[in-house]
């Protein structure tokens, strides 16, 4: 009986110029050698405590990035998704600020806009589409978009991220009221961002208790 192939794949997403981008890198072996794909790899039974550990390890080894937010997305399986045989992929979504990718400066990592037509091997296009749909859906009622920013940010910056993901403008007063309802942010004492011709803006960050888990709204934005 053929052995089932068991892997993890990571959809690493960031915002570049208000457009959602996914990290891809060329495969260094067959099948699909030289073709851009999601960062992925086999689970190491002796090394990985669970699938999440495997995803973090694969992401670190292949992109040089430690993602502050990693969420299990879905399981993709079947005999047709991998030419090597029946396979299971446990897929994860990772969110980072664009500067994290720039600082890692991994030569093999290329960013691709998710709104463009992507031709990817295996079922990676379906995995990306699922991750993007999940992110945009959760952006309506959760703190998830915060992970696409740096450790601190202004409210206008945060609103622009929500608007980019939801693909529509949000009323400023309504947005700030929803952020108050979520009670997930704290001001960074004494930290302001200069706004050029505008008044300096207060910097905020996620409260410690929400840096590893999502804050949810009872009603969406």
Task: Tell me the pLDDT tens digit for each residue of 175-212.
Answer: 999 999 889 999 998 767 766 556 788 999 999 998 88
For 4-63, how does the pLDDT look when each residue is reduced to its tens digit (9 = 90+)? 999 999 999 999 999 999 999 999 899 999 999 999 999 999 999 999 999 999 999 999
Residue ranges making up the domain that contains 42: 5-138
Whole-angstrom distance, CA of residue 109 vs CA of residue 48: 24
Q: Tell me, what's the pLDDT at 3?
A: 87
Q: Which of 194, 216, 212 is nearest to 52 (CA)?
A: 212
* Long-range pairs, 178-182, Cβ under 8 A, ≥24: 178/217, 178/221, 179/155, 181/217, 182/143, 182/215, 182/216, 182/217
Asked if residue 157 and residue 127 are part of one domain, the reply reads no
The neighbour count for residue 108, using CB atoms within 10 Å, is: 15
Asked if residue 93 and residue 171 are part of one domain, the reply reads no
Question: Which of residues 112, 138, 164 is at a domain's end?
Answer: 138
- Residue 104 maps to a domain: yes
Question: Which of residues 138, 162, 178 is at a domain's end?
Answer: 138
Whole-angstrom distance, CA of residue 92 vs CA of residue 113: 18
* 8 A C-beta contact, residue 27 and residue 7: no
Q: What φ, ψ does residue 122 adopt, rounded to 5°?
A: 55, -135
Q: For the chain, what is the domain count?
A: 2
Work out the end-to-end distance of the chain between its first and last CA atoms, rounded to an integer number of angstroms.
51
């Amino acid at each position: 009986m053929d052995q089932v192939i068991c892997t993890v794949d990571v959809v690493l997403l960031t915002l570049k110029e208000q457009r959602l981008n996914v990290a891809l890198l060329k495969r260094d072996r067959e099948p699909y050698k030289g073709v851009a794909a999601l960062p992925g790899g086999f689970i190491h039974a002796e090394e990985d405590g669970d699938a999440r550990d495997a995803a973090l390890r694969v992401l670190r080894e292949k992109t040089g990035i430690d993602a502050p937010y990693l969420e299990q997305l879905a399981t993709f399986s079947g005999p047709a998704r991998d030419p090597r045989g029946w396979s299971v992929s446990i897929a994860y979504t990772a969110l980072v600020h664009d500067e994290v990718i720039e600082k890692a400066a991994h030569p093999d990592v290329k960013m691709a806009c998710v709104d463009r037509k992507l031709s990817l091997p295996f079922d990676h296009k379906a995995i990306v589409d699922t991750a993007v749909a999940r992110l945009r859906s959760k952006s309506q009622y959760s703190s998830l978009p915060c992970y696409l920013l740096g450790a601190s940010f202004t409210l206008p910056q945060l609103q622009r991220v929500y608007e980019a993901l939801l693909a529509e403008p949000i009323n400023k007063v309504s947005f700030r009221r929803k952020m108050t309802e979520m009670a997930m942010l704290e001001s960074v004492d004494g930290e302001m961002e200069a706004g050029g011709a505008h008044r300096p803006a207060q910097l905020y960050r996620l409260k410690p208790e929400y840096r590893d888990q999502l804050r949810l709204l009872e009603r969406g934005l």
